[in-house]
Amino acid sequence: MSKPNKPNKPNKPKNAPRRPAAAVTPDSPCPCGRADAYRDCCAAFHQGRATAPTAERLMRSRYSAFAVGDTAYLMRTWHPTTRPGGLDLEPAQRWTGLEILGTTGGSAFHTEGTVEFRAHFTLHGRPDSQYENSRFVREDGQWVYLDALPSV
């Protein structure tokens, strides 16, 4: 009972952890859902080349930061009074899309704003979503996340 050897066949372990879907690259469509490539969109905020001009752009860039795993950006765009001591992202969670449902204020002429959104993700491969009406304030000219308004 011998089979011919197939020396070039890679030895794939069964039940290997699933690789993340496609990783975000600079040329990828930005995870936040705008038409620009990641490089020309939220990456500019993540890398400190620019700051988000509106509360909605900050919200989108924070969603993208979750998608690319940039916890440092999430922390520095979190208001110091509500920022957690640390942030661990769930490795089994994949962010799959962002819907902006509504905004108030949040422009260059405001110091406060809200962004209502639904963020879609999969957790261990199962689709789910998170709804939030987030409150943002502008501190020293930069939008930061304050907290979530209670659901009505």
Q: What minimum distance in Å lies between the beta carbon of 144 and Zn ion?
A: 17
Residue with Cβ nearer Zn ion (57 or 135): 57
Residue with Cβ nearer Zn ion (41 or 144): 41
DSSP 139: E
- Name the residues that contact Zn ion, by CB under 5 A: 30, 32, 34, 41-42, 64
End-to-end CA distance of the chain: 70
Q: What minimum distance in Å lies between the beta carbon of 109 and Zn ion?
A: 22
Q: What minimum distance in Å lies between the beta carbon of 40 and Zn ion?
A: 9
In 10 A of CB 96, how many CB atoms?
Answer: 15
What is the distance between the alpha carbons of residues 28 and 34, in angstroms, rounded to a whole number? 11
H/E stretch holding 133 reads: strand 126-139
Q: What minimum distance in Å lies between the beta carbon of 141 and Zn ion?
A: 20
Residue with Cβ nearer Zn ion (29 or 111): 29
Residue with Cβ nearer Zn ion (14 or 132): 132
DSSP, collapsed to helix, strand or coil, labels residue 96 as strand
